[in-house]
Amino acid sequence: MKIIILVPIYNDWQSASKLLEEINSIISGLECQFSIIIVNDASSDQQSISALNTENLHSIKILNMSENRGHARCIATGLKHIFEKEEFDYVIPMDGDGEDRPEEIKNFVDYLKYTSDKPVVGERVKRSESLFFKFCYGVHKILTFAFTGHSIKFGNYTCLPKSTVEKMINDKSTWSSFSGALTKLEKDRSTVPSIRGPRYFGPSKMSFKNLIIHSLAIISVFKINVLIRSIFFLLVYMYLIHQNISAIMLIPIPLIITLIVLVFYISKRENLNELNNSLSNISNIDNIK
């Protein structure tokens, strides 16, 4: 069984090196062939992989991007490259900073014995960020469920069979939101519990602004659901308050309208042509092992 671990990196080579060594240790004894593909998102820092112990890894490649495209698009580009250029059975996309814990790779592999034909997602059961971030993330999950009808409790840390990878590289929403696209394309998914680990080095790169964009990108995958649910909510709400209208009672209306506008604006990030042409942004490939 051939498994490729896909890791997007931007200026975090120290973490990438530590991650490779931890993966190398974790997969010892697993009856699978593991390879690593790192997508270097046009890092401004000089590329430097200093992992010393990689004897359990079949190969390590770095796809060097010409232009910075962002986390989701790095994963989309990596999936397309893997599907078209590599031999594999499964792909495990994961963050390179330690927040996706390498020890959980074993959980994915264990589940493949029973659910080999469908994706396995790491459902977050515990997070390590600040209370404010956890609160904001909780609001994001509530809004996502309320306006899309989908409860999305996972990120990109998943295990995808080849059939799922093929679906994702042929859907425009993958270019904007990994978890949104996977939720839309694969209704039947297995889940394993996943704990969000602390970063290996430095502070988290997920700012409040990036969290908002991340949330809207997921919601925008289901923009028609958002529009229908919003119209239904506004009609019911106006009916309930029509005999007691005040300025305060009208506040939710512009908020809902603003959300609809933002969702449809963010949905413009979805682009199948750019996804299809994404491999042209790879300037060169370094074969580390």
- Which whole number is the average pLDDT over 106-123? 90
Per the model's pLDDT, the better-predicted residue between 122 and 205 turns out to be 122
- Which whole number is the average pLDDT over 105-127? 87
3-state SS string for 119-169: CEEEEEEECCCCHHHHHHHHHHHHHHHHHHCCCCCEEEEEEEEHHHHHHHC
Predicted TM-score (pTM) of this structure: 0.91
Position 130 confidence tier, pLDDT thresholds 50, 70, 90: low
- Which whole number is the average pLDDT over 4-27? 95
Position 134 confidence tier, pLDDT thresholds 50, 70, 90: confident
Distance CA 57, CA 287 (A): 13
Domain ranges of the chain: 2-128+153-204+271-287, 223-263
pLDDT tens string 81-110: 999 999 999 999 999 999 999 999 999 999
Our measurement of the distance from residue 230's CA atom to the centroid of its chain's CA atoms, rounded to an integer in Å, reads 26
In this structure, are strands 90-93 and 2-9 parallel, antiparallel, or unpaired?
parallel
Confidence at residue 125, expressed as pLDDT on a 0 to 100 scale: 76
Confidence at residue 68, expressed as pLDDT on a 0 to 100 scale: 95
Which of the residue ranges 53-62, 133-142, 234-243 would you say has the lowest mean pLDDT?
A: 133-142
Confidence at residue 178, expressed as pLDDT on a 0 to 100 scale: 96
CATH domain 2-128+153-204+271-287 topology: Spore Coat Polysaccharide Biosynthesis Protein SpsA; Chain A (3.90.550)
Of 280, 176, 160, 279, nearest to 218 (Cα)?
176
The per-residue pLDDT of the chain, averaged, comes to 91
Distance CA 279, CA 169 (A): 12
pLDDT tens string 204-261: 766 677 778 889 999 999 999 999 999 999 999 888 887 777 777 788 899 999 999 9
Confidence at residue 248, expressed as pLDDT on a 0 to 100 scale: 75
* Lookup result for tokens 């949905």: 267
Task: Please say if the pLDDT value at position 127 is more than 80.
Answer: no
Confidence at residue 7, expressed as pLDDT on a 0 to 100 scale: 97
Which of the residue ranges 79-83, 160-164, 204-208, 271-275 would you say has the lowest mean pLDDT?
A: 204-208
- Which whole number is the average pLDDT over 189-201? 90
Q: Amino acid identity of 218?
A: I
Distance CA 15, CA 37 (A): 15
Q: Name the percent of the chain lying above pLDDT 70.
A: 96
Of 37, 87, 40, 60, nearest to 283 (Cα)?
40
Task: Please say if the pLDDT value at position 264 is more than 80.
Answer: yes
Distance CA 137, CA 61 (A): 33
- Which whole number is the average pLDDT over 144-150? 91
Distance CA 156, CA 238 (A): 39
Distance CA 22, CA 148 (A): 37
Confidence at residue 119, expressed as pLDDT on a 0 to 100 scale: 95
Beta bridge partners of 56: none
- Beta-strand ranges (E) seen in the chain are 2-9, 33-40, 57-65, 90-93, 120-126, 154-161, 190-195, 282-287
Distance CA 138, CA 227 (A): 22
